Amino acid sequence: MERELLSGEKLCFSAALIASESGWQRAEAAMIHHHKPSCNLEYAVSFPYDQTTISTSGKNAKLDGKFTVYRTP
């Protein structure tokens, strides 16, 4: 992933406690589908889960604070 960075850019990670495996997979898919990072392609175009709302907090200037993602056909 570091090879994708432009000069002066930093690689940052976020973490969240999510109880179930299906829950974190759904949250990960929602984040990818909404933000469309260049290194994650699997859910960039389609979102296979029911309506999902994500709320973020803390030091996350590059993430939207709250958003909803809807199932795509």
Question: What's the pLDDT at 33?
Answer: 96
Q: Give pLDDT tens digits for 3-30.
A: 778 888 887 777 778 888 889 999 999 9
> Has residue 1 got a pLDDT over 70?
no
Question: pTM, whole model, 2 decimals?
Answer: 0.77
| Other beta carbons within 10 Å of 27 | 16
Q: Give pLDDT tens digits for 26-63.
A: 999 999 999 998 888 899 999 999 999 999 888 887 88
Burial of 70 (0-12, 13-18, 19+ CB in 10 A): exposed
Q: How far apart are CA 28 and CA 51, in angstroms?
A: 14
- pLDDT bin (cut points 50, 70, 90) of residue 2 is confident
Look up residue 16 and give its two tokens: 């969240």
